[in-house]
Structure 1
Amino acid sequence: MQMSDFCIIGKNINMYLVDDEDAGFIFELRSDVVKNKFLNKIDNDIKKQREWIRLYKKREKNKKEFYFTIRNKNNEKLGLVRLYDFIDDSFCWGSFIIKHGVAFYISIEVVMNVYEFAFYNLGFNASHFDVRKDNDRVVAFHKKFGAKIIKEDVDNFYFNISKQEYEIAKEKYKKYL
Structure 2
Amino acid sequence: MEIKGELINLKSVEISNAEFILKLRQNKELNQFISSTSVNLEDQKKWIENYLKRELDKKELYFIVKNKENQSCGTVRIYNIDSEKKECTWGSFMLDKNRPNGASYEVIKLSLNYAFEILRIEKILLDVRKENKKAIHIYEKSGFKKYAEDNLNYYYQKIKEEK
Q: TM-score range by the shorter chain?
A: over 0.9
- Residue in structure 2 matched with residue 80 of structure 1 by the alignment: 75
**Alpha carbons 2:105, 2:142 under 8 Å: kept:** no
Count of aligned residue pairs for this structure pair:
161
- Residue in structure 2 matched with residue 133 of structure 1 by the alignment: 130
Q: TM-score, normalised on structure 2?
A: 0.94
Tell me how far apart the structure 1 counterparts of residues 96 and 151 of structure 2 sit (CA, whole Å): 28
- The answer to which structure has the higher helix fraction is 1
Letter in 1 for 2:71: E
Tell me how far apart the structure 2 counterparts of residues 56 and 125 of structure 1 sit (CA, whole Å): 23
- Residue in structure 2 matched with residue 56 of structure 1 by the alignment: 51
Deviations 1:96-125 (A, max 9, x none): 111125334011100000111000111101
Tell me how far apart the structure 2 counterparts of residues 144 and 162 of structure 1 sit (CA, whole Å): 14
Structure 1 residue aligned with 2:4, among 9, 25, 28? 9
The alpha-carbon deviation at position 95 of structure 1 amounts to 0.5
Q: TM-score, normalised on structure 1?
A: 0.86
Deviations 1:35-74 (A, max 9, x none): 1111111011111000100100000111110000000122
- Residue in structure 2 matched with residue 106 of structure 1 by the alignment: 103
- Residue in structure 1 matched with residue 147 of structure 2 by the alignment: 150
Tell me how far apart the structure 2 counterparts of residues 163 and 118 of structure 1 sit (CA, whole Å): 10
Tell me how far apart the structure 2 counterparts of residues 56 and 22 of structure 1 sit (CA, whole Å): 13
Cα RMSD of the aligned pairs, angstroms, is 1.4
Tell me how far apart the structure 1 counterparts of residues 138 and 95 of structure 2 sit (CA, whole Å): 16
- 1:164 to 2:161 alignment: yes
Please say which of residues 92-101 and 117-126 is displaced more in the overlay. Answer: 92-101
Tell me how far apart the structure 2 counterparts of residues 101 and 13 of structure 1 sit (CA, whole Å): 11
Q: Which SS does the other structure have where 2:70 is aligned?
A: coil
Identity %: 34
Deviations 1:117-150 (A, max 9, x none): 0001111011011011000111122223322111
Structure 1 residue aligned with 2:42, among 47, 51, 64? 47
Instruction: In structure 2, list runs of 5 or more residues that go unmatched.
Output: none
**Alpha carbons 2:86, 2:123 under 8 Å: kept:** yes
